[in-house]
Amino acid sequence: MVKPTRGVMSVGAIAALGVLAACGTTSTPTTSNSTAAGIAGCHGTITVATDLPLTGGDATDGPFPQLAAELAVNQAITAKLMGGCTLKYISKDDSTVLKNGHDPAQGAQNIQALASDATVLGVVGPFNSSVALAEIPVASTDHLALISPSNTNPCLTAVVAVCSDPTININTSSLYPAGHTYFRVIASDVQQSEIDSYIAYTVLKATKIYVIDDQEAYGRGLALLFKKYYAADGGNIVGSASLPGTTTTFATQVSLAKSEGAQAIFFGGTTGNGCGLVRRDMGSQHFNVPLLGGDGCEDTKFISDANSGSNTSEAEGSYATSAPDVTKLASSATFFSQYAAAYSAKPAPYNDGTKEPYTAYGYDAMNILLQAIHAVLVANGGQPLSDPTAFRDAVVTQLRQTSYDGALGHTSFDSNGDTTNTGFTLYKVTSGNWVGVNTYAVDTSGTVTVKS
C-alpha cells in the first residue's frame, strides 16, 4: 500500500507509515515502536504547524483541515514516528476580525513567527490563494516548507498564460525570492480547465462554444485557460463576455450565443456570481444546449438558481467539473472513521470530517510533511541536522521526492510542487442533485484520460 520514498526509507519506516497512510493496514503502535529503531535515539524537538483560517467567515472551512492535520500529528506521536525526538504541533489562525476571515497580512506574520522558531520544519497551509501570495515569499526566504491543502490558483507555482491578465496579475517568479518551498496536494485550475475543455469538445461534442466569466481572479482565470485549451483542441469560441457578479440577467449573452449557433455555454465563475442564473436565462430563451461550469458551479445554490425561472427543472442536465468526492474513495474511509472517533466530542459540524471537501487534503498534507521529516531523520542516522536551515532544506528536498498513498490516493509532486494526483469529476444535475458521471485525469503533456 505504501510506496517507499526513493532509497532513504528503512523497512521499519514503511511499517510505521502504514498507520498514517490509513489504508487499512493493521499496523499497531507496538509494531511501530519496535521497528522505529533507527531514530529511537533521536534527541531534540521537531515542530510542525498549520496556518489556516479558523474564525470569522472562514470558520466553516479552515477548522476541518486543521483538525485533520492535528489528527495526523497525534497519530505520529502515538506511533513515535520521530523516535526519541519530541514532536510538537502549533496551530496558527490567519483570520482577522478586520477581514472577518482570512487575511493575507496575518498569514505572512504567522509564517514569519513560525520561521523564527528554529525547530519548525514545515507548515500545512494556507487555505486561500490570496493568503498564499503573501506567505510564499516569506516561506521561501526562510527555507520553510509550505504545503497547501486547497490553493487552486495556477499562478502560485508556474507562469501560465493567464497570470499577466489584469484581473489576476501575479508575477510568479517574484513569489520565490529564494528556493521553491511551496507544494500543494490539490490540482490547480490549469488541470481543471484542460479537463473542462476535453469534456466540452470530446465528451459533449460541442465544436462551437460561448464563454462567460464573472470577472474575478478564479472565474476569469478558469475561463481564459479554458479558451486557450478549447481552441487548441480544435473548438471554435463564438463569443465571450466578462460580467460582474452583480449581473442579474444574462439574456443579452444567451441571445448572442443562440444567434452564433453555440453548442454549449461555458461559465467560469461561482454560483454567487451568476452560474445558475445563466442556466435560468437559457431556459427562458428556450436555448437547449449544455451548460458547463467549473467547481464554482457545483453546489445546491446552482440548482435553486437555475430552477428559479419559468422552467422549474431547468437545472437538469447541467454539467460542472469539481474536485473528486474524496468521501467516496476507498482510500479515505479509514481516515474519515478515525476523524469521527477522534473528534466525537466536537460540536457539529466539526465532528464529521465529510462536511468539508478539504478535510482529507489537510490530513494528507500533514502526513506528507511528517513522512519527509522522518525520512530526513533516518537518512541522517536518526538525528536532526545540527544546522536548522540545512535541516529545513533537507525536508524540502525530501518533499520533492514524495510518493505517498493516503486518503486522497497516490500523491507525488512535479517540479513546480504541484500534485500529480489531478483527478476532476464531471458532475451532472440529475433529478435535482449533482451526480458524478466520470472522473478524469490529465498528465503533464495535457492528455486527458478517464480514470473511472
Residue numbers at the binding site for another protein (CB under 8 A) = 212, 215, 240-244, 246-253, 255-256, 258-260, 272, 276-277, 280, 284-286, 301, 304-305, 307-310, 312
What's the min distance (Å) between Cβ of 26 and another protein? 46
Q: Which is nearer to another protein, 141 or 167 (CB)?
A: 167
CB of 230 to another protein, least distance (A): 18
* Nearer of residues 25 and 284 to another protein, judged by Cβ: 284
Distance of closest approach, residue 237 Cβ to another protein, in angstroms? 13
The distance of closest approach from Cβ of residue 285 to another protein in the complex, given in angstroms and rounded to an integer, is 8
Query: Minimum Å distance from CB 239 to another protein?
Result: 8
The dihedral built from the CA positions of residue 271, 275, 281 and 286, taken in this order, carries a sign that is negative
Report residue 14 CA to chain centroid gap: 26
* Least separation in angstroms between CB 296 and another protein: 14
CA angle in degrees (0–180, nearest 5) for 267-272-274: 40
We find the least distance from the C-beta atom of residue 277 to another protein, in angstroms, to be 7
Comparing CB distances to another protein, the nearer of 162 and 372 is 162
Closest approach of another protein to the CB of residue 159, in Å: 25
Q: In this structure, are residues 324 and 357 in contact, taking their beta carbons and an 8 Å threshold?
A: no
Cβ of residue 415: shortest distance to another protein, in angstroms?
36
Q: Which is nearer to another protein, 4 or 272 (CB)?
A: 272
Residues 6+ apart with CB under 8 A from 131: 51, 53, 94, 102, 103, 104, 107, 125
- Residue 450 CB, nearest distance to another protein (Å)? 34
Q: Give Cβ neighbours of residue 114 (< 8 Å, ≥ 6 apart).
A: 49, 51, 90, 92, 120, 123, 144
Smallest separation (angstroms) from another protein to the CB of 276: 7
Cα 362 from Cα 326, distance rounded (Å): 12
Q: SS in 3 state form for the chain?
A: CCCCCCCCCCHHHHHHHHHHHCCCCCCCHHHHHHHCHHHCCCCCEEEEEEEECCCHHHCCCCHHHHHHHHHHHHHHHHCCCCCCCEEEEEEEECEECCCCEECHHHHHHHHHHHHCCCCEEEEECCCCHHHHHHHHHHHHHCCCEEEECCCCCHHHCCCCCCCCCCCCCCCHHHHCCCCCCEEECCCCHHHHHHHHHHHHHHHCCCCEEEEEECCCHHHHHHHHHHHHHHHHHCCEEEEEEECCCCCCCCHHHHHHHHHCCCCEEEEECCHHHCHHHHHHHHHHCCCCCCEEECCCCCCHHHHHHHCCCCCCCCCCCCEEEECCCHHHCHHHHHHHHHHHHHCCCCCCCCCCHHHCCCHHHHHHHHHHHHHHHHHHHHHCCCCCCCCHHHHHHHHHHHHHCCEEEECCEEEEECCCCCECCCCEEEEEEECCEEEEEEEEEECCCCCEEECC
Nearer of residues 164 and 252 to another protein, judged by Cβ: 252
Task: Considering the complex, state which of residue 24 and residue 57 has its C-beta at the smaller distance from another protein.
Answer: 57
**160 vs 306, beta carbon nearer another protein:** 306
Comparing CB distances to another protein, the nearer of 133 and 211 is 211
Nearest to another protein of 249, 334 (CB atom): 249
Query: Could you tell me the smallest distance in angstroms from the CB atom of residue 233 to another protein?
Result: 23
- With CA atoms as reference, report the closest residue to 66 among 346, 402, 337, 326: 346
Minimum CB distance to another protein smaller for 277 or for 289: 277
Nearer to another protein, 281 or 405 (CB): 281
Identity of the residue, 44 or 239, whose beta carbon is nearer to another protein in the bound complex: 239
